[in-house]
Amino acid sequence: MPSPLYEIPVARIDGSETSLGAYAGNVLLVVNVASKCGLTPQYDGLEALYRKYKDEGLTVVGFPANNFAGQEPGTNAEIAEFCRLTYGVDFPMFAKISVKGEDRHPLYDALAGSEDISWNFEKFLIGRNGEVAARFSPKTVPEDPAVVTAIEQELAKG
């Protein structure tokens, strides 16, 4: 039975419709991102993780969100250009969504349940089975040993 996460419609940053089902069988690191945040340099670490582990089945997926202090004010096109030019982002980016409040996207309802997202760059590790395997706070950098170890453990489940 496919994971409910895989059935939730999302839009790529170019506006084309898809779902995380396109990545079924991969390990996913889902991150709500922002371009004007003190944590924005985490894009470097996220891209490094993606490049290091993508051939083993890791996909980093970025969901821009403007829920915290207006730190993602740009359009999808502006966000895509910023990420590509400033951080060389090659991992999949998606259209801007809301990750908290009354208009929270169903993806974040499924990821966080009744808990709130605390800030930009909160990370959810999704195992190959489509279930949340770990959650990391915004201040936990992508290269933190806890993140790397959790990714490697999920990848090893092949």
Tokens standing for residue 124: 């959810």
Residue among 142, 125, 128, 135 nearest 51 (CA): 142
Inter-helix orientation angle 145-156/42-53, to 10° = 30
Dist CA 128 CA 153 (whole Å): 11
Residue of 37, 110, 133, 148 with catalytic role: 37
Of 52, 50, 54, 74, which is closest to residue 62 (Cα–Cα)? 50
Helices (H), 1-158: 42-53, 76-87, 106-112, 145-156
Bridge partners of 125, per DSSP, are 29, 134
Q: Is 83 part of the annotated catalytic residue set?
A: no
Q: Are strands 17-19 and 9-11 parallel, antiparallel or unpaired?
A: antiparallel
Q: Which residues are catalytic?
A: 37
